[in-house]
Amino acid sequence: MNASVKKQTLLVTGLNGMIRVMGFLLRILMSRILGAEMMGIAELASGVHMLAITPLTSGLPMAISRLTAKTNPKEQTQPLMAGLQLVRRVSLLLIPSFLLLSPLIAKWTGDLRVLPSLWFTAPCILILGYSGVYNGYCYGTKRSYLPAISELTEQTIRVLLTLLLLPVLHHLTAPW
């Protein structure tokens, strides 16, 4: 293994560790502020959200990465463009389907209060699909530090927004 790969591995692992610690601390803080009931609703919605994004985030980043790495350097954007187009097409089907099925899914979870959370996560299908394609492209071009820095930035913004919004939105009911 060459020095470049070792450095990238250490950097990505270190940043990923920081991201996970921040997420862990955020969950502790949120559970103390929101309480068990609201965290339960959030966890129900989170499980459904993870299932909804699976079609675009499970294998697509790896496929884009492999295709990009195998492609002539002058044509490496072709897998990226194809992946973005695939995400748009699949999202055109998944997002409306998810929105239409959200009331039924909320009923299946056993708590209809998850419905607003489900509605708000629908756009994430497109956003996280794009993110997966770009991450795969970066890995395929041997720039793995970009997705790691992007995730650290995203997690930092998430923590800051949560800390800012929780006091402002305390008057809302559990579903909202």
Q: What is the pLDDT along the chain (176 residues), one digit of tens a residue?
A: 666 778 878 888 898 899 999 999 999 988 888 888 888 888 888 889 898 999 888 899 999 999 999 998 889 999 999 999 999 999 999 999 999 999 999 999 988 999 998 999 899 999 999 999 999 999 899 888 899 899 999 999 999 998 898 888 877 777 66
Per-residue pLDDT, 68: 94
Backbone angles phi, psi at 110, to 5 degrees: 90, 5
Per-residue pLDDT, 42: 85
Per-residue pLDDT, 6: 81
What are the angstrom distances between the C-alpha of 28 and each of 31, 69, 174? 5, 40, 18
Per-residue pLDDT, 135: 93
127 Cβ contact list (under 8 Å, min separation 6)? none
Give the closest residue to 140 by CA, choosing from 66, 29, 31, 72: 66
Per-residue pLDDT, 10: 87
Per-residue pLDDT, 35: 85
Per-residue pLDDT, 128: 93
